[in-house]
């Protein structure tokens, strides 16, 4: 059934049933993935999916229901289920549908040219990537993971207040893990690329990056325990901030799950730290014109020069705080209820190069890999203890590789102890939690356990 016809029939049925307002959230996607191993296709999928959720106010409360079919036959049951769910939901805050904003930012998430790369060309590219990686160095023993995927999707939101929005996006992602062996030692290295124009993708560059990382770790040894100046490279920094991003969510603060509750307007980071959450960012592929509630996204400073300017709000947490939503009310799929997520969340870079930042460190550690981010983090207290790999920093230069170390600290204290931010901003692959971009940065001192 065509979307507009489905929407109109759904709203008409809901009004007749007794709903005072209603909303349709529609999502459709087309996904392709090919995984190569040993010169052959080991996994392959080419699928599409569609679904929708209905939300509306019935007897003063909002109820939800969803369907995986866009068909007239499901409308009556969808409305009835939402009404039944409204009757069993008991919350102190009254949820309200959003009537819309006067203007919405434009995005450039969709590139029609990506659709011209058919399945055969994608498979050919993935096969060539693995073959090229094997030929880079004789010490390459295996390419454990070689994947090329594309995703295209559209999200539409409409409600009985006249809101009617559409956002379309597509993206390609390539990922490779190389394993090298020498003198009985085995190490792996990975690299990834993402974008919406495969003409900008170099599988040779990606393969060299993964193999080069693996080779650089072959001489790795542990490091002496102690407190060191620590540099998180931009990839590790993205993983760290993604792990603790929930402390900036207003709903978590209101529930006692973040120590930033009541801290808006107070210094929570070093003076040189500015953290932004931009709904539209030209350097990222995770932009959105609106959130899952139909609120226009905003480009905003979350922390500016160390001061917490705002938490991230959806309409419910904003209503509770008496403020306007920041456009961060997202849900991971049409099946889920609205929560909070970042848009393009990043630490504002400086003009200081990564190399220059290292030049001022006599004896430190550069962290390039983190492990155990879920089990090793307390996202309420901010305490963390992560397994890590990286390199020594000796007399201002990157030294030998280090492995089997643990870096520990507290994220709230880390924010206050960031002494230098570099210029090498890099955005990670967009995820359901948002898109994270970080430059490398220096923390004045963290505890490392090694030898």
Q: Coil, helix or strand for 122?
A: helix
Q: State the residue for tokens 């991230």.
A: 312
Structure letter (DSSP) for residue 338: P
The DSSP code for 246 is G
Q: Are 277 and 302 in contact (CB under 8 A)?
A: yes
Sequence spans of domains, the chain: 3-216, 226-449
Per-residue pLDDT tens digits for 63-83: 999 999 999 999 999 999 999
Single out the residue of 272, 282, 267, 276 nearest to residue 245, CA to CA.
Answer: 276
| pLDDT per residue as tens digits for the range 112-122 | 999 888 999 99
N-terminal to C-terminal alpha carbon distance within the chain? 64
Helix 3-17 to helix 75-88 angle (10° resolution) is 50
Three-state DSSP at 326 gives coil
pLDDT in tens, 194-243: 999 888 899 999 999 999 999 999 999 999 999 999 999 999 999 999 99
Q: What is the pLDDT of residue 199?
A: 84
CB 158, CB 4: distance < 8 Å:
no
Q: Was domain 3-216 assigned CATH 3.30.70.2860?
A: no
Q: What percentage of the chain has pLDDT greater than the value 90?
A: 91
* Contact criterion met (CB below 8 Å) for 11 and 22: yes
pLDDT in tens, 394-447: 999 999 999 999 999 999 999 999 999 999 999 999 988 899 999 999 999 899
Instruction: Tell me the C-alpha distance between 402 and 391, whole Å.
Output: 5
Give the pLDDT of residue 380.
Answer: 95
Mean pLDDT over 89-107 rounds to 84
Q: CA–CA distance from 226 to each of 163, 406, 449 (Å)? A: 57, 11, 7
Closest CA to 380 of 240, 195, 244: 244
If one counts every other C-beta atom within 10 angstroms of the C-beta of residue 404, the result is: 14
Q: Tokens for 61, please give them.
A: 């409360």
The stretch 255-270 carries a mean pLDDT of: 97
Closest CA to 64 of 74, 56, 73, 72: 56
CA-to-CA dists, residue 222 to 187, 228, 291, angstroms: 14, 14, 45
Least Cα distance to 415 among 376, 384, 390 occurs for: 384
Q: Measured between alpha carbons, how far is 49 from 105 in angstroms, rounded to an integer?
A: 27
Write the CB contacts of 303 (distance below 8 Å, at least 6 apart in sequence): 268, 269, 273, 274, 275, 309, 415
262: region left, alpha or beta (phi > 0 left; psi from -120 to 50 alpha): left
């Amino acid at each position: 059934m065509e979307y507009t016809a489905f929407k109109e029939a759904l709203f008409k049925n809901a009004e007749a049933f007794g709903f005072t307002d209603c909303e349709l959230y529609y999502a459709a996607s087309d996904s392709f993935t090919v995984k190569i191993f040993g010169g052959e296709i080991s996994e392959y999928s080419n699928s599409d999916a569609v679904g929708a959720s209905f939300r509306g106010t019935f007897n003063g409360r909002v109820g939800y229901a969803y369907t995986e079919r866009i068909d007239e036959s499901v409308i009556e049951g969808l409305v009835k289920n939402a009404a039944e769910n409204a009757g069993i939901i008991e919350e102190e805050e009254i949820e309200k549908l959003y009537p819309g904003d006067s203007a919405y930012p434009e995005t450039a998430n969709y590139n029609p040219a990506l659709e011209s790369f058919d399945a055969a060309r994608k498979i050919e590219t993935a096969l060539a990537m693995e073959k090229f990686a094997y030929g880079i160095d004789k010490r390459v023993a295996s390419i454990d993971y070689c994947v090329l995927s594309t995703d295209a999707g559209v999200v539409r939101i409409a409600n009985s207040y006249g809101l009617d929005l559409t956002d379309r996006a597509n993206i390609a992602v390539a990922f490779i893990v190389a394993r090298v062996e020498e003198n009985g030692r085995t190490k792996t290295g990975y690299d990834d690329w993402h974008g919406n124009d495969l003409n900008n993708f170099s599988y040779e560059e990606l393969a060299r990056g993964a193999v080069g990382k693996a080779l650089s770790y072959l001489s790795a040894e542990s490091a002496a325990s102690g407190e060191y100046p620590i540099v998180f490279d931009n990839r590790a920094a993205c993983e760290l901030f993604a792990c603790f991003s929930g402390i900036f969510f207003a709903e978590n603060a209101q529930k006692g799950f973040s120590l930033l509750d009541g801290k808006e307007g107070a210094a929570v980071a070093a003076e040189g730290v500015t953290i932004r959450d931009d709904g539209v960012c030209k350097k990222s592929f995770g932009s959105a014109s609106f959130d899952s509630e139909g609120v226009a996204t905003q480009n905003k400073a979350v922390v500016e020069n160390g001061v917490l300017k705002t938490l991230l709000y959806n309409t419910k947490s904003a209503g509770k705080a008496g403020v306007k939503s920041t456009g961060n009310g997202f849900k991971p799929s049409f099946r889920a209820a609205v929560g909070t997520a970042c848009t393009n969340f990043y630490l504002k870079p400086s003009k200081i190069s990564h190399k220059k930042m290292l030049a001022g460190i006599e004896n430190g550690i550069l962290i390039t890999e983190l492990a155990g981010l879920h089990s090793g983090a307390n996202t309420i207290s901010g305490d963390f203890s992560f397994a890590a790999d990286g390199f020594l920093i000796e007399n201002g230069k990157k030294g030998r590789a280090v492995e089997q170390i643990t870096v520990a600290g507290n994220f709230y204290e880390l924010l206050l102890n960031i002494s230098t931010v570099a210029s090498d901003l890099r955005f990670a692959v967009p995820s359901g939690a948002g898109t994270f971009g970080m430059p490398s940065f220096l923390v004045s001192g963290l505890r490392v356990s090694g030898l």
